[in-house]
Chains A and B, each alone.
Chain A
C-alpha cells in the first residue's frame, strides 16, 4: 500500500511497469521494488506487512529517490520488448527476463540515449543465449555418441551394484514425519522444527529410499498403499537406463525414468536454466544421482520425500473424510484448500462425479485420480525435488520444505483443474452442424 502510494506520487513515465489501474505490476514489486530498492534484507524493519509512520516515511523516501531511475527502467523495458519483437523472440515472460536487467541498465546508463538500440539488442540476445548449451537438443547430441553411451551404461551398472539396500523398516521415519507435519500448515512463523533437522541428520530419507529397494511394505499404515506411492510402477525400482528420447505425454513413473528422461524434464522447464550445470556435467552427475536412494543426492530432499509421502497418504480431495492414518496440521491445511478448490470448481461448472461412474469415460478417470491423489502428488514432488537436487539447492529448514510440500499440493490442484477443462473442451469440440441443416 505504501509502495502503491509512493508509486502514484512518482507521476507519469512508469506506464510500462504499471498495471491499467496505475498500481505497479505485481512483478514490478516482486522483481524490482522489493529486491533492488527496498531490500528488506538490509532493512528488516521494512519487511513487515504493516509499517509504523517512521518506516512508512523511510519506504516512501526510498521509492521517491528512485523515481528517475524507475522512469529510465520503464523506458528500457519498452525498448527491450520492442527489440525482442523485432528479433522474433517469444519464449519466456519479458518481465521475468528483463526487469532486473532494465534496472541495471537504468542505473548504469540512465534513460536510453544514442546507441541504446544496440545495447538493447545485445541484452536481449544475451538473455536468450544464457540458456544455450542447456537444452534438450544439446542433451540429445551429447548422448548420441555411442562410446559415451557405453561408458555411461557401465557407470550406471557399477553404481547400481554398489547400492546398499536397507533391510530395516522405514516406519520410524514415517512416524517422525507425522510429528514434523504437525508443525506445518499452522499460521505464523513458529515452524522451527528440531525434528526436521534431526531427520536430516539421522538420514531418514536415505533410509526410506533404501527400504524401497527391498520391497518393504506396510510403511504407510494402510494395506492399499504401496510403499513407493507410485514413484515406480514396479515392485522395486530397477536400474536406470541411459535412454535416448523422451516425451512429456509418456513419461514413466519417476524412478523408472531413464537418465535421458530425468534430465529432459529438468531442461524442459524454462525457469532458471542459467543456474544449471552444463550438459556434460549434468549427465555425469545424474549417473550417480539416479542410483542414489530415491534418485536424489541431497539428504534434506530425500527427507522431503518422506514428509511428502506421509502428507500424500492423508490427502482427501473429494472430501470423503475416509481412510487415511492420522491427519496432521499439514493435512488439515491442504485438505481445506482442496475443499475450497472443489467449491470453486462447482461454481465454475467443472465438476467430476465423486463416485465411480462406469459410463464416465475420461471424467471418471480424472475422478479416479482424485481417489488416489498420492500418485500425482509424489510424481510432482519428486520432479520438483529433483530439480532442486540438480541445482544443488537443499531445503535448509522446515519453512523451505513446507513451502515445497504446500506448493506441490497447489500444483496438483492446478493440474486437475487444467485436465478437467481440457476434457470438457474436447467433449464439446465436435463441430456444430451448420444452421441450414438444423432446420427441418
Chain B
C-alpha cells in the first residue's frame, strides 16, 4: 500500500475469447490463457469483482492497489466509461482491438478518480462476503447495514460504470439503500456526534450526502430517508460524542463457552484440526479462524466414534442451516455428518468405520453447506496458479494473508489520524464499518 497509487501503470490490451477484449493488469498482465485462469490466480476469496456495463472488472485483493483487469464483452457499452476509468489510450486500444487489431498491445493506464472509487466499491463488495470475522483471531465482524449504505454511496459515485440496461447486478443502489436503511438513523447520530474536522466526520457526511443524492435521483422515499434529508439540511449540532462501536453493536461480544465436553466417555485415540475452507459455505455461518474445525476420535468399547466441533460465526443463525462435516478416513470416500448448534459451536458425533486394530488413523475433516459447495473435481488438476503444490497449503497461506490484510486495515481504522492528511476526495480510508468494528474490537 506504500506505492503511490496515482502513478500510471501499464496494462495489456488483447483480443480474448469469443469476440471479447481483455485488459490485463497486475498478475493477469498479458497472460495468454482463459480469462478465468488469468484472473483467478488464487482461491476465489482473493478476487474482488465488479459487473459493469459491457464488462467484468477484477482486482486481486492481496496485491497493491492498481487498475483492474477487465473482460470487455460489449465494447460499445464499455466505451462510455473505459476512458474515464483507464484513460483515453486504453479506450482507444480497446477500440482498435474490437475493430480487428489482432495483436495485443501494452498501453499506459491513467490513474483516475473513477478507478479509485471502483476499486473501493469492489473491495467493499468483497468485504461483505469474505471478511474473516473470528473470535479467536480477534477480528470483529463488519456491520452489514453500515457497509451496505457505504456501498450504496460508492455505487452512486461510480454511476458512470453502469448503464440503464438492467443487466448489471452491481447496479443496485436502490436495492442497497432499501435493504440497509435501518442503519441510517445510527449513522446520522454518529455523524452528528463526531467532532469536525476529523476525517471520520468528513467520511460520514460524504456517505450520508451520497445516499441522500442517490435516493433522490432514483426516487426512493420513506421516513428514514426523510429524516436523513432533514438532518442534512439542519446541519450538525455538536452533541456528546458517542461510541460507534456501541451504536452498531451487534450481539457478537460473546465470551467463548467454556465448552462442556460432550460426555462421550471412552478413550481418546486421536484428535486434530480440520480444514476451514471458506469457499464451501456462505458467509456468516462459521468462524473464519484456521482452527475453527476440530475433531476427536474415541474408542468406546469396540466402537469408534468421532466428534466434530466447528466454532460458529458470531452472527450465525441458531437453526435452519444444515451445515455438515465431511470426514475422510485414510483417504477413503468422504462421509457426511450433520451438525447441530450447541452454544457457540456446530457439533456432531458419528460412528467411525475404523477397525479396532488401526492405531493412527489419518482423518480429514471439513465443513460445508450442502448444495453450496462449489467443489473441485477430485481427479482434476490443482487450482490454477498453484502448479506442483497442494492447493490446500496454498489456500491456507492465502487465508493467512487475508487475515493479515484485514488486521492491518483494522489497525489503520483505529487510528483515523493516519488518514487525516489524505489529499484525495475518493476517501481511500477505512470503510465506516471498519472504523465501527475497530471500536468494537477493543472490547474483545
Residues of A near any B CB (own CB < 8 A): 1, 4, 16, 19-21, 23, 25-27, 29-30, 49-50, 81, 84-85, 88, 90, 92-96, 185-187, 332-333, 336-337, 339-340, 343-344, 346-355, 357-364, 367, 407, 410-411, 413-414, 417-418, 424, 427-435, 438-440
Contacts and interface: CB of A to CB of B under 8 A. Distances in A.
A427 B318 CA distance: 10
B113 interface: yes
A344 B49 contact: yes
B319 A430 contact: yes
Contacts of B343: 438, 440
A301 B129 CA distance: 41
A353 B375 contact: yes
Given A50-B95, A340-B56, A343-B39, 14 more contacts: A19-B156, A23-B159, A25-B217, A49-B75, A90-B220, A340-B73, A347-B44, A349-B44, A361-B371, A364-B370, A427-B282, A428-B315, A428-B316, A439-B254
Interface stretch (B161-169, B347-355, B356-364): B161-169
Interface of B: 17-20, 35-36, 39-40, 44-45, 47-49, 51, 53, 56, 58, 71, 73, 75-76, 79-80, 83-84, 88, 91-92, 95, 98, 113-114, 117, 125-126, 129-130, 156-157, 159-160, 162-164, 166-167, 169, 210, 213, 216-221, 250-255, 257-258, 260, 278-279, 282-285, 314-322, 324, 336, 343-344, 369-375
B319 A19 contact: no
A321 to B, nearest CB: 13
Q: Please give me the 9 A-B residue pairs with the lowest Cβ-Cβ distance, nearest first.
A: A360-B371, A363-B371, A430-B317, A359-B370, A187-B19, A410-B167, A351-B374, A430-B320, A440-B257
B129 A1 contact: no
Contact of B92 (A50, A88, A92, A95): A50
B218 A93 contact: yes
Contacts of A339: 36
Contacts of B129: 348-350
A85 to B, nearest CB: 6
B18 A185 contact: yes
Given A20-B159, A430-B318, A435 B254 contact: yes
13 contacts: A26-B160, A92-B219, A333-B73, A347-B44, A348-B125, A350-B129, A351-B372, A359-B336, A417-B169, A428-B315, A435-B254, A439-B254, A440-B343
Most buried by A among B95, B162, B254: B254
Contacts of A90: 219-221
Given A344-B56, A361-B370, A427 B317 contact: yes
Contacts of B49: 343-344, 347-348
Contacts of A410: 167
Contacts of A23: 84, 159-160
A185 B318 contact: no
Contacts, number: 211
B218 to A, nearest CB: 6
A81 B375 contact: no
Contacts of A367: 371
A329 to B, nearest CB: 8
A359 B325 CA distance: 12
Contacts of B251: 432-435, 438
A433 B320 CA distance: 13
Contact of A29 (B19, B80, B257): B80
Nearest to B17: A336
B319 to A, nearest CB: 5
B370 A357 contact: yes
A19 B159 contact: yes
B91 A357 contact: no
A356 to B, nearest CB: 9
Contacts of A358: 370
A214 B92 CA distance: 55
Given A25-B159, A428-B321, A30 B73 contact: no
B257 A432 contact: no
A409 B369 CA distance: 28
Contact of A428 (B51, B76, B284, B314): B284
A349 B371 contact: no
Contacts of A95: 217-218
Contacts of A344: 49, 51, 56
Contacts of B257: 438-440
Contacts of A361: 322, 370-371
A109 to B, nearest CB: 22
Contacts of A336: 17-18, 20, 73
B130 A353 contact: no
B371 A352 contact: yes
A5 to B, nearest CB: 10
Given A20-B213, A411-B167, A427-B282, A337 B73 contact: yes
Contact of B372 (A94, A353, A407): A353
B428 to A, nearest CB: 15
Contacts of B48: 347
Contacts of A187: 19, 75, 98
Contacts of A96: 164
A242 B51 CA distance: 42
Contact of B44 (A346, A355, A431, A432): A346
B375 A346 contact: no
Contacts of A340: 35-36, 56, 71, 73
Contacts of B210: 20
A315 to B, nearest CB: 14
B344 A438 contact: yes
A29 B220 CA distance: 22
Contacts of B56: 340, 343-344
A344 B258 CA distance: 40
Contacts of A433: 251, 318
A367 B336 CA distance: 20
Nearest to A22: B113
Contacts of A357: 370-371, 373
Contact of A16 (B84, B217, B250): B217
A440 to B, nearest CB: 4
Nearest to A92: B219
Contacts of A20: 156-157, 159, 210, 213
A432 B92 CA distance: 52
Contacts of A93: 218-219
A88 B344 CA distance: 47
Contacts of A349: 44-45, 129-130, 278-279, 282-283
Contacts of B156: 19-20
